[in-house]
């Protein structure tokens, strides 16, 4: 019975949606600019929480970044200009999804290299097993006779 209760509680918690941390006083009156600000906020990392976007974080620094994004958009900056401004100020770490560049190539290439390496290892393992399985079929007549002799002596 306790397991069923636990399962119900976990199912209920799974249905809960995280609330956004954006305060009503931060929201822009222009819905187009607000949508752009929200889209940018989802791509920016909270420097305090580190694994949350600034849209989801309640940290004071995240609030400051949300306000800064909205100020830059209101001033007429494009999305790219806002991101470039924040990267210049806080570094690439502010982006939840880092840009592909020469200094981030290893970050982007590692999953591909691991996937290809794992596939090659599986192919090599399968080939080795197939070769080991076929070795019994290639025994010489003398080896087959010796095996039969040993099996017969063991049975007696």
Structural domains of the chain sorted by starting position, each given as residue range(s) with its CATH number in brackets:
20-99 (1.10.8.640), 103-155 (no CATH)
Confidence at residue 24, expressed as pLDDT on a 0 to 100 scale = 67
Indicate whether 97 pLDDT > 60: yes
Choose from 10-14, 55-59, 90-94, 112-116 the range with maximum mean pLDDT.
112-116
Residue 15, SS3 per DSSP: helix
Confidence at residue 62, expressed as pLDDT on a 0 to 100 scale = 87
Indicate whether 115 pLDDT > 60: yes
Q: What is the mean pLDDT of residues 8-22?
A: 63
Strand-pair partners of 88: none
Q: 54: which 2 tokens?
A: 């600034």
Indicate whether 81 pLDDT > 90: yes
145/143 Cα distance (integer angstroms) = 5
27/142 Cα distance (integer angstroms) = 87
Sequence-distant (6+) residues with CB within 8 A of 147 are: 139
Q: How far is CA 12 from the centre of its chain?
A: 25
pLDDT tens for each residue of 127-148: 888 776 665 567 788 888 888 8
28/35 Cα distance (integer angstroms) = 9
Q: 17: which 2 tokens?
A: 């949606």
82/71 Cα distance (integer angstroms) = 10
| Cβ-based neighbour number of residue 67 at 10 Å | 15
41/23 Cα distance (integer angstroms) = 13
Q: Residue 6 — very low, low, confident or very high, per pLDDT cuts 50/70/90?
A: confident
Q: What is the mean pLDDT of residues 31-41?
A: 88
């Amino acid at each position: 019975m306790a397991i069923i209760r636990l399962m119900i509680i976990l199912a209920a918690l799974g249905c809960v949606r995280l609330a956004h941390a954006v305060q009503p006083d931060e929201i822009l009156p222009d819905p187009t600019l607000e949508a752009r600000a929200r889209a940018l906020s989802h791509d920016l990392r909270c420097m305090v929480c580190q694994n949350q976007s600034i849209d989801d974080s309640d940290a004071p620094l995240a609030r400051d970044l949300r306000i800064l994004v909205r100020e830059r958009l209101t001033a007429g900056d494009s999305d790219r200009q806002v991101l470039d401004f924040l990267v210049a100020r806080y570094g690439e770490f502010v982006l939840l999804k880092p840009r592909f560049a020469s200094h981030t190539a290893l970050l982007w290439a590692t999953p591909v290299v691991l996937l290809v390496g794992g596939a090659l290892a599986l192919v090599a393992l399968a080939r080795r097993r197939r070769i080991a399985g076929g070795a019994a079929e290639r025994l010489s007549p003398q080896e087959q006779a010796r095996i039969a002799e040993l099996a017969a002596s063991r049975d007696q």
